[in-house]
Amino acid sequence: MSRLQQLLKLHEVDPSDADVLYMLAQEHATRGEHAEALAWFDRCVDADGAYCYAYFHKARSLEALGRVPEAIETLRRGLGAAVAAGDAKAQGEIAGYLEALGG
Of the pLDDT bands very low, low, confident and very high (cuts 50, 70, 90), residue 1 is: confident
Domains of the chain (ranges plus CATH)? 3-100 (1.25.40.10)
Helix (H, G, I), strand (E, B) or coil at 44: helix
- Indicate the pTM of the whole model: 0.94
Question: Reduced to 3 states, what is the DSSP secondary structure of residue 11?
Answer: helix
Closest C-alpha among 61, 60, 59 to residue 34: 61
**Average model confidence (pLDDT) for the chain?**
96
- Angstrom distance (rounded) from CA 40 to CA 21: 6
pLDDT per position as a tens digit, 24-83: 999 999 999 999 999 999 999 999 999 999 999 999 999 999 999 999 999 999 999 999
Question: What are the CA-CA distances from residue 64 to residues 9, 32, 33, 55 (Å)?
Answer: 28, 9, 10, 14
